[in-house]
Structure 1
Amino acid sequence: MALALGITAGCGAPDGGEGTHLRMALPPDAVYLGAEAEALDAEIIRITARMQGARDDRDVRDYALCALAGYADARGHAFARHLRTTVDKTGGVWQADAVYTISPAIPQGVRTIDVEAQLGACVETGIPQL
């Protein structure tokens, strides 16, 4: 199951996956090229996000995190946990490949994400969500 999102807007970024620490104001030429969510099982979600004009890998990591927050919220999950993110840049296009767990209750571990708080940060910085 994959969902796609194609939005051309600009703003924001997180720290690689532990929630709400997003940067403000992307360069004016930054473009969100779309994000997809793939359920690997009931609780493990893979997010692929692409963008142009990012300052560095952190911007596309933030985009993936916001896509994950929207996906989890739409499915009634209040929490997520970051497992891993890899980033690649080819021809000016940054791509993040991130994996998270989602759950209705706070998961164990140090890399937990409060989905509602993350969504608020994404909206505030203008980063699209799924």
Structure 2
Amino acid sequence: MMLPLVLGACETQAPMAEDFIPEYRGVETKLLDGDLVQFDVAMTKARSSENVAEYAECAAARYTLIRGFGFARHVRTNVEIEGGVWHADAVYTISPSLPAGLKTIDAEVTVQNCMEKGIPTV
């Protein structure tokens, strides 16, 4: 008697929608000096480093509002991926008025944009 050959285990599964939905793994915030703040974020299923940097920006915007300020200025963001987990280490200055520089954010507008995109904040 011949047993049927099962090939199903060798077939490649088509990706599911869940495979493309980012998983945000949290934010660590460190006050470095007065108005200088570091945000360490982690996530999986990012499409690019820009996704992780945007997550950090959302965290920075919410933190800015929590501290009673309205604006932040991006200083730097370092992104790396390790074992499928994306990490960003971002530094921002926070201030009550629009700071000098090109990479400034209006915290209230940024938080609203993050909410619309489904990106969590602090």
Which residues in structure 2 correspond to 1:3-18 (within 5 Å)?
none
**Alpha-carbon distance in structure 1 between the residues aligned to 2:29 and 2:115:** 19
Alignment partner, residue 87 of structure 2: 95
Q: Which of 12, 29, 41 is 1:37 aligned to?
A: 29
Per the TM alignment, residue 50 of structure 1 is displaced from its structure 2 partner at its CA by 0.1
Identity %: 46
Alignment partner, residue 53 of structure 1: 45
Per the TM alignment, residue 57 of structure 1 is displaced from its structure 2 partner at its CA by 0.6
**Alpha-carbon distance in structure 2 between the residues aligned to 1:70 and 1:38:** 14
**Alpha-carbon distance in structure 2 between the residues aligned to 1:36 and 1:91:** 19
Which residues in structure 2 correspond to 1:59-74 (within 5 Å)?
59-74=51-66
Per the TM alignment, residue 110 of structure 1 is displaced from its structure 2 partner at its CA by 1.1
Per the TM alignment, residue 109 of structure 1 is displaced from its structure 2 partner at its CA by 1.0
**Alpha-carbon distance in structure 2 between the residues aligned to 1:110 and 1:62:** 16
Count of residue pairs the alignment pairs up: 104
- Ranked by relative contact order (alpha carbons within 8 Å, sequence separation 6 or more), the top structure is 1
Query: How high is the TM-score relative to the length of structure 1?
Result: 0.77
Greater gyration radius: 2
Which residues in structure 2 correspond to 1:77-96 (within 5 Å)?
77-96=69-88
Query: What code does the residue aligned with 1:111 have?
Result: K
**Alpha-carbon distance in structure 2 between the residues aligned to 1:63 and 1:124:** 13
**Alpha-carbon distance in structure 1 between the residues aligned to 2:20 and 2:78:** 23
**Alpha-carbon distance in structure 2 between the residues aligned to 1:57 and 1:47:** 15
Structure 1 stretches (4+) deviating beyond 3 angstroms?
Answer: none
User: Does residue 27 in structure 1 map to residue 14 in structure 2?
Assistant: no
Alignment partner, residue 4 of structure 1: none
Structure with greater helix percent: 2
Could you say what the CA RMSD is over the residues aligned between the two structures, in angstroms? 1.1
**Alpha-carbon distance in structure 2 between the residues aligned to 1:103 and 1:58:** 24
